[in-house]
Amino acid sequence: MAAGLSLLALLVAAPNAAATPTGTLPPAPPEIPAPLSFTAVDRPGDSGDAILLTWQDPPGLPADAMVEIRRAQPPADEWTEVAEVKPGVGRHVDTTARDGNVYRYEIRVRSAATADSSGIAGAVGPPVVSDPAASHDDWFRSERTNSLIAVVLFIGIILGSIGVARSGKNIFIRKIAGLNALDEAIGRATEIGKKVMYIPGSASMDDIQSVASIAILGNVARATARYGADLDVPNKDPLTFASALEAVRGAYLAEGRPDLFREEMVNYVTYDQFAFTAAVSARMIRERPAAIFLIGYFYAESLILAETGQSVGAIQIAGQADPTQLPFFVATCDYTLIGEELYAASAYLTREPVLLGSVRGQDIAKAILIVLGILGIAAASFGVHGVADLFRTQ
């Protein structure tokens, strides 16, 4: 009887022993670690409506892991998804926050390829919840302190240079051939009794090149008033026309020759680009001016005007800061003001202390930036990245 019971017990236990071998357990699903040092604070130095979230990625994250960011607004406990970011970022700015509201944030790591405890893919790690945070505006953005220092330094250099110029010290500006030839071109026109034509570009007065061109026009008009040469200023834009008229009138008054000024010297042609080009080109051929100035912002008409002026034998002085049309002027004109020479022309011609000091101050600031750039490149080449951080703004 005892032997039969032992045999029955062995038969019952045999299937269980076969199903689970002795000393072997089913493998536990891998655990996804939680992010570390999670904080949620108002983003410093901004105009509000932004909360800065920072954290550290834990070691051992799956290759397809994503950091999921959720938000709740107390007293409600309903979490809404804000964003998903890849590991390695370590920060996120919630720009959907609104000033005056308090939020709590939760982050957790999700892996689509990792199975959870029930064997279903899409495991989620334990969440980490932040302390309550609220956004507000700030009057000073500390992250842009370097920009403030740079602006103050630049203004100081400009004001100091203006002071040096006003003290009577000679401010050196390298010779610009096109501006040195200005009196030569106008003098030639006076000698042979022909016109001086000045075209202040095709753009309106909202373009800085048009402003610089009108300043140069004032100096050209003073020279024509001084020599008694006839001046012709055709215009495409109405605002440029009005500005040019006042500049020429003021130049003749400043030279004490208002009797030589005529309203028709400065004339409006048409706003259409190629109608203006055709009209001015025809005027060049009919009247054959001895000197032509093409200074300002020009478009496709630049080559047509410059070639026509060259065909009538005029001395041509051009100037433009946009490199798209400069090759045409260089090829067809006697002198060309390139880039910043156009903007420095007024200071070069008038020798006015404020203008001279401004040009000198800008050159000093550009030299400082070049030196700092070279130092930054050298530092980065040797693995010193702190120099680049000094110039980083947000």
Q: pTM above 0.75?
A: no
CA dist list (Å): 306 to 232, 300, 313? 16, 11, 11
Q: What was the pLDDT predicted at 268? A: 96
Nearest in space to 150 (alpha carbons), one of 375, 343, 368, 377: 368
Q: Indicate the Cα dihedral angle 86, 92, 96, 102, nearest 10°.
A: 120
Q: What was the pLDDT predicted at 3? A: 46
Dist CA 213 CA 218 (whole Å): 9
Which tokens is 352 given?
A: 């006015």
Q: Is 90 helix (H, G, I), strand (E, B) or coil?
A: coil
Hey, what amino acid is at 342? L
In the predicted model, residues of the chain with pLDDT beneath 70 are: 1-30, 115-121, 394
- Summarize pLDDT for 260-278 with one digit per residue, the tens: 999 999 999 999 999 999 9
Q: What was the pLDDT predicted at 271? A: 94
Determine how many CB atoms are found less than 10 A away from the CB of residue 332: 20
Dist CA 393 CA 148 (whole Å): 11
CA dist list (Å): 195 to 153, 224, 230, 244, 290? 47, 10, 5, 17, 6
Q: What was the pLDDT predicted at 335? A: 94
Q: What was the pLDDT predicted at 116? A: 63
Average pLDDT, the chain: 87
Report yes or no: 67 and 87 within 8 Å, Cβ to Cβ. Answer: yes
Dist CA 301 CA 272 (whole Å): 11
Q: What was the pLDDT predicted at 130? A: 92
Q: What was the pLDDT predicted at 117? A: 61
Please report the beta strands in 164-263, taking only residues with DSSP state E, as ranges in sequence order.
Answer: 196-199, 231-235
Q: Is 27 left (phi over 0), alpha (psi -120 to 50) or beta?
A: beta
Q: What was the pLDDT predicted at 138? A: 82
Domains of the chain, earliest start first? 36-135 (2.60.40.10), 142-169+355-391 (no CATH), 177-351 (3.40.50.720)
Q: Is 53 helix (H, G, I), strand (E, B) or coil?
A: strand
DSSP state of 107: E
Please report the beta strands in the chain, taking only residues with DSSP state E, as ranges in sequence order.
Answer: 36-42, 51-56, 66-72, 80-85, 91-94, 102-115, 121-124, 128-129, 133-134, 196-199, 231-235, 266-268, 291-295, 315-320, 335-338
CA dist list (Å): 230 to 68, 87, 180, 221, 315? 76, 73, 20, 9, 15
Which tokens is 255 given?
A: 């030279």
Q: What was the pLDDT predicted at 209? A: 93
Dist CA 115 CA 155 (whole Å): 62
Q: What was the pLDDT predicted at 1? A: 43
Q: Is 47 helix (H, G, I), strand (E, B) or coil?
A: coil
Nearest in space to 315 (alpha carbons), one of 291, 280, 289: 291
Q: What was the pLDDT predicted at 121? A: 67
Which tokens is 141 given?
A: 């953005």
DSSP string for 313-340: T-EEEEEES-TTTHHHHHHH-SEEEETT
